[in-house]
Amino acid sequence: MNQMLQDSADAKDASAAEGSPGTVDRPPAPAHPRFTKPQRVAFVQSAWHPEVIEECRSAFLDEIEARNIARAHIDVFEVPGAFEIPLHVQLLAKTRRYTAIVAAGLVVDDEYIAETVIKALMDVQLRTEVPVFSAVLTPQQFHETAAHVEFFRKHFATKGVEVAEACANTLLSLERLRGQVAAGIV
C-alpha cells in the first residue's frame, strides 16, 4: 500500500515537472453553440460611475464574443442615468434591429429607482418580444471610496459575464423555439 502511495506521489511530481514552471494547465475553453442566424445586440449603459460600468461592458463583450456573437454586432449606447435606460431600450427594441438588448447601470441607494427601471425593462421585453437583460444594480450603503469602487468594479465584471451568458443562452433558446413554432412542432 505504501508503495502505491509513493508511486502516485512520484507520478504527480513527474507530471508537474513536465509543465513549464509557473504555468497552470487549464481545461480548454468550452465550445459554445453557434447561432443559425446572425445576432445583433444593443448594450445600453448609464453614464454614472463609468469606472464601474466599464467593467461590466468589457466583461460582457469578451464573454459574448466567446459565445459566438461578434463584437461588430454589438452596439453600445450611453444614457445620462439609469432612469433613462428604459426609454432608450424601448426605442431600440421597436427598431427590430436587435435580437437582444442589455442594460447596465449602478443605482446608488435608491431601491425605488432600481425597481422602476427593472419593471420598465420587463414591460419593454413583454411588449416587443425582444429579450431585455439587466445588469442594473443597486448596492446598499455604497460609498465613493476606493475600496467600494474596486469591490463593485469586480462585482460588475462578474455581472457582465453573467448577463452575456444569459443573453446568449436565451437567444439560442428563442432561436430553437421560433424554429419549432415555424415548423408547427409547438
Query: Residues of the chain whose pLDDT is less than 50?
Result: 1-20
6 falls within a domain = no
CB atoms within 10 A of CB 41: 24
104 assigned to some structural domain: yes
5 belongs to a structural domain? no
Pairing type for strands 132-137 and 74-79 reads unpaired
Residue 83 assigned as binding residue: yes
pTM of the full predicted structure? Answer: 0.81
Asked if residue 54 is part of any domain, the answer here is: yes
Q: Is 93 annotated as a binding residue?
A: no
Maximum Cα–Cα distance for the chain, whole Å? 71
106 is in an annotated binding site: yes
Range(s) of the domain holding residue 71: 36-182
Q: Is 48 annotated as a binding residue?
A: yes
Q: Is residue 1 part of a domain?
A: no
What is the C-alpha to C-alpha distance for residues 137 and 154, in angstroms, rounded to an integer? Answer: 13
- Look at residue 88 and tell me if it is in a domain: yes
pLDDT attached to residue 29: 66
Q: Where are the beta strands (DSSP E) in 85-161?
A: 100-106, 132-137
pLDDT in tens, 25-49: 766 667 888 898 899 999 999 999 9
Question: For residue 157, what is the domain's CATH number?
Answer: 3.40.50.960
Q: Does 107 appear as a known binding residue? A: yes
Q: Report the 10 Å Cβ neighbour count for 55.
A: 20
The answer on whether 165 is annotated among ligand-binding residues is no
User: In this structure, are residues 101 and 133 in contact, taking their beta carbons and an 8 Å threshold?
Assistant: yes
Question: Is residue 82 annotated as involved in ligand binding?
Answer: yes
Structural domains in the chain (count): 1
126 is in an annotated binding site: no
Any domain includes 26 = no
Residue 18 lies in a domain: no
